[in-house]
Structure 1
Amino acid sequence: MSTMKPYLFNLLLIPCLLFLNSCRDVNKAKSFEQMADRISKHYVEDSRVDRLEIEHKSTFQGLLVKGYTTIPEVYDSIQAVLSEGGFVVAQNNFRLLPDAKLLEGKTAGIINVSVANLRSKPGHSQELATQALMGTPIQVLDFKDGWYLVRTPDRYLAWLEPGAFVAMRPQEAQGWFNEDLRMYTGPTSVMKSEEGDIVTDLVFGNLLRYADTDWAEDKMVLVELPDGTHGYVKGSFLVPPLLQSSILRTEALLESAFANAGRPYLWGGTSPKAMDCSGFTKTAFYENGFVIPRDASQQVLAGKVVELTPDFHNLKPGDLLFFGRFREDGSEKITHVGFYTGEGRFLHAGADNGRIVEQSLRPEDEDFAEHRLKSLLQARRLEPGTEGVVPVGTAFTDILKQ
């Protein structure tokens, strides 16, 4: 009986061992993927406010892992899985954000333009996710392709170009909010230099710092932008911001809402320049001293439920109405929100209208919006002290603590 030569046997054995190792690597990678998925489902309830982004690749040297999370518990869980789960890890570049080392400690910032446009992904051509007004504090989390991943006071995550804000250490950013802080409450206008040159445009809700020594509401007064630039605005348009309000007056809320009637609809807009439906409701609350969640599907979880009836008798002016449809599994998909204004009427920013308008939910009215009545799913009353209704000052402080 002939025997196989050793070298030939080895040539046949090596591919078999590589195949077996490869199978084990694939199984290990699959196991890691499943564990990461379970961790994500447990901790990440809404990717708009918290993230777990993780990539892994199996090699002969072991797992290559990269990505990030904004949740410390997720970071700890992933690291425990990698170190205690029997995995051979060749490279571990999984990070907890904010990445203070990458950002050189500047994990905070202040918006420095009248309206900053935040994108869903890095790049000017990407979807407009939300906006932030001048003077708003942000948490700076990461840097990629020339863009910064930031968190706004409503905890929304999006990408922002560096020219729109001033990067700072958290302590520096906290110093911006002192007794000289003022809110601009005039019409869309401009701030001018001493020589009369335009420095920046301004919209209702912008936060500036008063820098004058001789204030008078009927004159132009000196103010300061977050980056230290000075200019002049009319004193009567500057008021102390409502930072720690505990009262929300319905009349004032609806006055703010109606003041924006006629503004154009803009997907992702949350400023007086243009707004989407939830940006409109969010802006009215902000002007009255409160931060609420960003999107309609988040706002529907805030406040308290108000039972809907055919005659709307349970509703009060200022309540939020939520519209949408039912998914195949029977759950609600909220896609639209507006203010109830009384007598079966509501004020909203709808893409189908093109601008913020008031319409009726009653068939007998001339401006009856039939498709809105058919898609009306919920009503909520957002009051101070209820879920998701946070004083502006508290939201600002919390974002700079993280």
Structure 2
Amino acid sequence: MHYGICNLSIVSMRVEPDETSEMVNQVLFGETFEIIDEDNQWSKIRLTFDSYEGYIDNKQYLKITKEFFSKLITEKQSYTAEIVDFITNKSNELTTIPLGCTLPRFNNKKLEIENQFYFYEGAVLSEKKQKNDILKVAFIYLNSPFLWGGKSPFGIDCSGFTQMVYKLCGYKLLRNAKEQATQGEVLSFIEESEPGDLAFFDNDEGEIIHVGIILDNYHIIHVYEKVRIDTLDHSGIFNTDLQKHTHKLRVIRKVI
């Protein structure tokens, strides 16, 4: 087995090994993965964090040794907490990085990728947070545009949003809404929920296709064209701009 790490700000992960193939996920700076298969241009990878699989361009990552990979996955994780910032290398070259990037082996403003050192002076999240901190992190993404497969403030989808918010608070969610709906404890009614719980929504065929984070006073923060706040009731999400329900409530889950 070979291993890799993302050394660019945001890399597209695709369904097939083709640059015109659908982007279903993104790999952010510092994320590690197993390399399942590779050819001259593309690698099929499995992300360490959530085991999500897809294809990325060989030119857009660095291979790392099994020993270094093992160190990274057993050490405390640190993540960037600024909407956008940058790291520098010893030559003072800049790499722009968005909110939620991983800082490998971060200590005293320095991070390491296979004996190559970089420097970061921005805010960092590295400890498990309380449940009420989930809302504070979620609000950082407010008004970020929708992007299918996105995981950054410059474009994000509904389950990428919930996954990243929970990740920055020290908790692990799977990548897709349907997968996230298998995690945690089912709640029977909205009244049983707390701010920070997850609400899931289905389509006419009963398939879960959407997720958001419950707020106080029957509100929800979710991604619909952008990260936005709407009203939540027993029927689903009531869009305050459109003045109609846009999503049908299926289940509420308490993960924390």
Mark the CA change 1:167 to 1:361 in structure 2 (over 3 Å): closer, same or farther: same
Q: How far 1:186 sits from its partner (Å)?
A: 2.5
Aligned-residue identity in percent? 23
- Once the two structures are superposed, the pairs formed by residues 286-301 of structure 1 within 5 Å of their partners are 286-301=167-182
- 1:174 aligned onto 2:47: no
Q: How far 1:297 sits from its partner (Å)?
A: 0.9
**TM-align CA RMSD:** 2.7
Alignment equivalent of 2:246, drawn from 351, 369, 372:
372
Q: For 1:132 and 1:155, locate their aligned partners in 2 and report how far apart those are by CA, in whole Å.
A: 12
Residue 160 of structure 2 is matched in structure 1 by 279
Which fold has the larger relative contact order, with Cα–Cα distance below 8 Å and residues 6 or more apart in sequence?
A: 2
Residue 262 of structure 1 is matched in structure 2 by 143
Contact 1:263 1:272 in 2 (8 A): yes
Q: For 1:118 and 1:364, locate their aligned partners in 2 and report how far apart those are by CA, in whole Å.
A: 32
Structure 1 or 2: larger helix share? Answer: 1
Q: How far 1:367 sits from its partner (Å)?
A: 4.9
Q: How far 1:323 sits from its partner (Å)?
A: 1.2
Report the number of matched residues: 252
Q: For 1:162 and 1:254, locate their aligned partners in 2 and report how far apart those are by CA, in whole Å.
A: 37
Residue 227 of structure 2 is matched in structure 1 by 356
Q: Secondary structure at the match of 1:208?
A: coil
Alignment equivalent of 2:113, drawn from 226, 229, 233:
226
One-letter code of the match for 1:289? G
Q: How far 1:344 sits from its partner (Å)?
A: 1.6
Q: Secondary structure at the match of 1:140?
A: strand
Residue 200 of structure 2 is matched in structure 1 by 322
Q: For 1:133 and 1:364, locate their aligned partners in 2 and report how far apart those are by CA, in whole Å.
A: 32
Contact 2:105 2:112 in 1 (8 A): no
- 1:345 aligned onto 2:226: no
Q: Secondary structure at the match of 1:379?
A: strand
- 1:184 aligned onto 2:65: no
Contact 2:83 2:153 in 1 (8 A): no
- 1:158 aligned onto 2:158: no
- 1:108 aligned onto 2:3: yes
- Once the two structures are superposed, the pairs formed by residues 184-263 of structure 1 within 5 Å of their partners are 184-193=80-89, 196-198=92-94, 200-209=95-104, 215=108, 221=109, 223-226=110-113, 228-234=115-121, 237-238=123-124, 241-242=126-127, 245=128, 249-263=130-144
**Structure 1: gaps spanning 5 or more residues:** 1-99, 101-106, 216-220, 384-402
Q: For 2:111 and 2:149, locate their aligned partners in 1 and report how far apart those are by CA, in whole Å.
A: 28
Q: How far 1:131 sits from its partner (Å)?
A: 1.4
Q: How far 1:224 sits from its partner (Å)?
A: 3.7
Q: For 2:65 and 2:213, locate their aligned partners in 1 and report how far apart those are by CA, in whole Å.
A: 38
Contact 1:324 1:376 in 2 (8 A): yes
Larger radius of gyration: 1
- Once the two structures are superposed, the pairs formed by residues 378-397 of structure 1 within 5 Å of their partners are 378-383=251-256
Residue 23 of structure 1 is matched in structure 2 by none
One-letter code of the match for 1:323? F
Q: Secondary structure at the match of 1:371?
A: strand
TM-score by length of 2: 0.86
Mark the CA change 1:150 to 1:209 in structure 2 (over 3 Å): closer, same or farther: closer
Q: How far 1:209 sits from its partner (Å)?
A: 4.5
Q: Secondary structure at the match of 1:377?
A: strand
Q: For 2:211 and 2:193, locate their aligned partners in 1 and report how far apart those are by CA, in whole Å.
A: 15
